[in-house]
Amino acid sequence: MKSFVRRFPRMAIGSAIILAVIAMAATAPIFFPFSPWDMRGSPFEPPGSPDFLLGSDALGRDIAAGIAHGAWVSLMIGGISTMASLGIGVSLGALAGYVGGRVDDAVMRFAEFFQTIPSFLLAILLVAIFRPSIFSIIAAIALVSWPPVARVVRAEFLSLRKREFVQAAEVLGVSHMRVVWQTLLPNALPPVIVLGSLMVANAVLTESALSFLGLGDANWMSWGFLVGSGRSVIRIGWWISVLPGVAIFITVLGLNLLGEGLQTWLNPRLSKRDMP
């Protein structure tokens, strides 16, 4: 353990941060057993005041409670949307890389399209038109973030198919499904894992940006919403925007450290254009 920390300090710090955020999300109902939307006292109390550890907002809501409860939304949306886009990306990438030819062309044109258009604007459009909800936010983030995964998996498959040990499986008469599941996917996995952790970071950022613009789910407290709601009163209570923003920063930093650590640990070669 100790030597692991010394060898992969980034991964250790990153994991510690993420575990702390998860712990915060899990314990939010214990430490703040009330809705983060509740008005708990006078507005604009600065951090450190007796009622509010991290201050209160313009309506007297507890910022600390908002941050703790908001952690849950950030992690959940980041996690689920990444899972979904990994699902889309891995299947399309595997299909393109294994079948090749026209299928490959079609999938790659499709991915290129999604990579070129201003994806954040598309996410805004999707959430706005389908009305803001946890579901529409997750779907929008998943829909705009799968192309790098598809590219990575396809590139891995293409290079693996030229590798002799994959050709060896073919020559032995191993079935398509077994080649894909036993030989190609396990060997293509390391860069996907690294990409996955970086994508969670990106998804957390995108979610917070959406709710900052007022496109959050009104039933859930989120960090981006807190930052956005404090923006107009920044001259009176800077902490309302800044502290939840710092929470986003720390989480994203942790995920990035984790991703970089995983990259040195698993040592895959990610092409630069595929970094999110």
Partner 1 sequence: MAQSASVEAGYAMTKKLLGIDDLSIGLPVYADRPRAVSKVSFSLNEGEILCVVGESGSGKSMIANAIMGLLPRELPVLGGKIDLQGIDLLTQTPAQLRSLRGSRMGTVFQEPMAALNPLMRIGDQIAEVFYVHGLPGKPQQIIDLLRAVNLPDPEALIHVYPHMLSGGQRQRVVIAMAIALEPALLIADEPTTALDVTTQAQILNLIREIQRRRNSGVLFITHDFGVVREIADRVIVMKDGELVEHGTVSDVLKRPSHDYTKKLLAAVPKPNTGAPRPRSERTILKASHLRKTFWRGNKEVAALNDINLDLRKGETIGLVGESGSGKSTFARTIVNLIAPDSGEIRFEGTDLHSLSRKQWKPFRKRIQFLFQDPFESLDPRRSVGDIIAAGPMAHGASAAEARAVAKEKLRLVSLDPSALDRWPHEFSGGQRQRIGIARALAMNAELLIADEPVSALDVSVQAQILDLLEGLRDKLGLSMLFITHDMRVAAQICDRIAVMKLGQIVEEAPAREILSNPQHPYTKTLIASVPGLSGESANHRTVEAL
Partner 2 sequence: MTESRLHAMPRLIGWRVLKMALMVLAIVVVNFLLIHAAPGDPASAIAGQSGQADAEFMRQLREQFGLDKPLPVQLWIYIERVLTFDLGVSHRLQRPVLTVILERLPATLLLTGSAFLIALSSGIALGVRAARKPGGIADTVIMGVSLFFYATPLFLVGIVLVLVFGVWLNWLPTFGMETVDVPLHGLARVLDVAWHAVLPVVTLAVFYSAVYVRLTRASMLEVSSYPFVKTARAKGATEHRVTWVHVLRNALLPVITLAGIQAGHLIGGSVLVETVFAWPGIGSLAFEALIARDYDLLLGIFLCTSVVVLVFNLLTDLLYLVFDPRVQAL
Regarding 272 and contact with partner 2 (CB under 8 A), the answer is yes
Structure tokens at 119: 């994806």
Interface pattern 191-210 for partner 2 (x via CB under 8 A): ----------x---x--xx-
Contact 48, 64 (CB under 8 A): no
Residues near partner 1, by CB under 8 A: 163-175, 178, 182-183, 186-187
For partner 1, which is the closer residue by CB, 26 or 266? 266
| CB-nearer residue toward partner 2: 98 or 239 | 239
Type of residue found at 211: S
State the minimum distance, in angstroms, from the CB of residue 94 to partner 2. Answer: 22
CB of 210 to partner 2, least distance (A): 10
**How far separated are the first and last CA of the chain, in Å rounded?**
30
Contact 8, 261 (CB under 8 A): yes
State which residue, 224 or 268, has the beta carbon closest to partner 1: 268
3-state secondary structure of 56: strand
Q: How far is the CB of 170 from partner 1 (least distance, A)?
A: 6
| Nearer residue to partner 1 within complex by CB, 38 or 170 | 170
Could you say which of 99, 118, 167, 175 contacts partner 2 (CB under 8 A)? 118
Separation of alpha carbons 250 and 247, rounded Å: 5
Distance CA 49, CA 27 (A): 22
Nearest alpha-carbon partner for 237 in 226, 248, 246: 226
Task: Tell whether residue 106 is a contact of partner 2 (CB under 8 A).
Answer: no
Cβ atoms of 177 and 212 within 8 Å: the answer is: no
- Distance between CA atoms of residues 209 and 195, nearest Å: 21
Closer residue to partner 1, CB minimum distance, 150 or 166: 166
**10, 266 in Cβ contact below 8 A?**
no
Identify which of 152, 156, 121, 192 has the alpha carbon closest to the alpha carbon of residue 273.
Answer: 152
User: Is 241 one of the binding residues for partner 2 (CB under 8 A)?
Assistant: yes
Partner interacting with residue 170 (select from partner 1, partner 2, none; CB below 5-8 Å by kind)? partner 1
Comparing CB distances to partner 2, the nearer of 86 and 255 is 255
For partner 1, the closer CB: 109 or 165: 165
Q: d(Cα 246, Cα 162) in Å, to the nearest integer?
A: 46
Part of the chain binding partner 2 (CB under 8 A), chosen from 47-55, 82-90, 114-122, 187-195: 114-122
Q: Which two tokens stand for residue 1?
A: 């353990």
Q: Which residues bind partner 2 (CB under 8 A)?
A: 113, 115-122, 124-126, 128-131, 201, 205, 208-209, 212-215, 224, 227-228, 231, 234-235, 238, 241-242, 245-246, 248-249, 252-253, 256-257, 271-273, 275
